[in-house]
A = this chain, B = another copy of it.
Amino acid sequence: MTRVLVVDDEPQIRRALSTNLRARGYDVELAESGEEALQLVVDRHPDVVVLDLGLPGVDGLEVVRSLRTWSRVPIVVLSVREAERDKVAALDAGADDYVTKPFGMSELLARLRAAVRRSAPAVDEPVVDTADFCVDLAAKQVRRHTPDGDVEVHLTPTEWSLLELLARRRGRLVSQADLLLEVWGPANERSSDHLRVHMAAIRRKLEPDPSRPRWLVTEPGMGYRFV
């Protein structure tokens, strides 16, 4: 669920935004001041901040600048000021968008979606690490731990596909049908001969004792499991 931090000192705006956003499935945090906003960004890690420029106390612009010293969270600025130099100042301070009040709710929501969408796709692919080797799913790379440090292990495309699938579902049993389907595609009613050959190749490269697999376990008659 997307978390939005709404920063505004006017209660009715907070209420209006909060209601609208919650109705659309957002998780909403509210702040009334710049200080509170900065604290909540630290505590709750919102996915996007809606920030009124006209705050009492710390100026909204200062909030933007403070945030930008350490965070890249998208900031959509709200303001009654229409002057170009205000917009320029806010945007150059690090804001992502600038909406002047009064604003249409649907436009604001669309701009929020755009801001979140842009920053979202930072999908961090995990690195699966074992005592013997380490599978980096993002880099498509496998390193084997040795006394002299890590050594890169070269896998062929088929071997990588198999290992990747097992690593993504580590702990779970993956049936032979699933493996054949994902690696060789739907058309093939291939035999599981392939599976055996390629699994053996992976084990030879990664397992300390390939004939006694410790990580890539066979479940006879069912499939394979990465533990």
Contact = CB atoms under 8 A, between A and B. Distances in A.
B172 A139 contact: yes
Interface string A114-135: 1001110010000000000000
Contacts of A113: 91-92
Contact of A110 (B91, B107, B118, B154): B91
A118 B116 CA distance: 12
B92 A173 contact: no
Contacts of A104: 84
Given A113-B92, A156-B221, A157-B222, A140 B106 contact: no
State which size class the interface on A falls in: 35 or more
A97 interface: yes
How many copies of the polypeptide does the oligomer hold?
A: 2
A156 B106 contact: no
A138 interface: yes
Contacts of A111: 91, 98
A114 B96 contact: yes
A42 to B, nearest CB: 20
A96 B118 contact: yes
A104 B85 CA distance: 10
A189 B173 CA distance: 30
Contacts of A119: 118
Given A84-B106, A160-B222, A221-B157, A171 B92 contact: no
Contact of A172 (B72, B87, B118, B140): B140
Contacts of A206: none
Contacts of A91: 110-111, 113-114
Given A88-B109, A139-B171, A139-B225, 5 more contacts: A84-B104, A88-B110, A92-B114, A140-B222, A154-B219
